Amino acid sequence: MGFGSRIWGGSTNDTDLDLLVVIETIASDPATIATRGYDALPDVDNPIDIVVKSEETFCTQAHVPGSWAHTVRTSGRRLYG
């Protein structure tokens, strides 16, 4: 999912693109998975921030009003899948 100012508006030329990747089961460290994601991306002009969560963790957090995950679930944009 995309979230943040690039999705919600108010971005500038220096604003990064925030991406949430939800994986059914995380078999390794989320930072390692995010690094693989960065490596797979083509060269882009703006920075990208990749956040990796397991489906269980994200769904649990997304049900808490006011939490980051709830905001992303209700206001983020699904980009794939």
Beta strands in the chain (DSSP E): 2-3, 17-23, 48-54
pLDDT at 67: 95
The mean per-residue pLDDT over the stretch 11-38 comes to 84
pLDDT band, residue 26 (cuts 50/70/90): confident
Position 47 in a domain: yes
Compute the distance between CA of residue 1 and CA of residue 72 in angstroms, rounded to an integer. 8
pLDDT number for residue 6:
87
Is 80 within a domain? Answer: no
Distance CA 68, CA 47 (A): 20
Question: Which of residues 26 and 47 earns the better pLDDT score?
Answer: 47
CB atoms within 10 A of CB 69: 20
∠ Cα 81 38 17 (to 5°) = 70
pLDDT digits (tens, 9 = 90+) for 38-62: 788 877 777 888 898 889 999 999 9
In-domain check, residue 17: yes
**Total structural domains in the chain?**
1
Written as six digits, the tokens of 8 are 């919600």
How much is the pLDDT for 56? 92
Residues 6+ apart with CB under 8 A from 72: 1, 3, 20, 62
Query: Which domain does 39 fall in, by range?
Result: 2-75
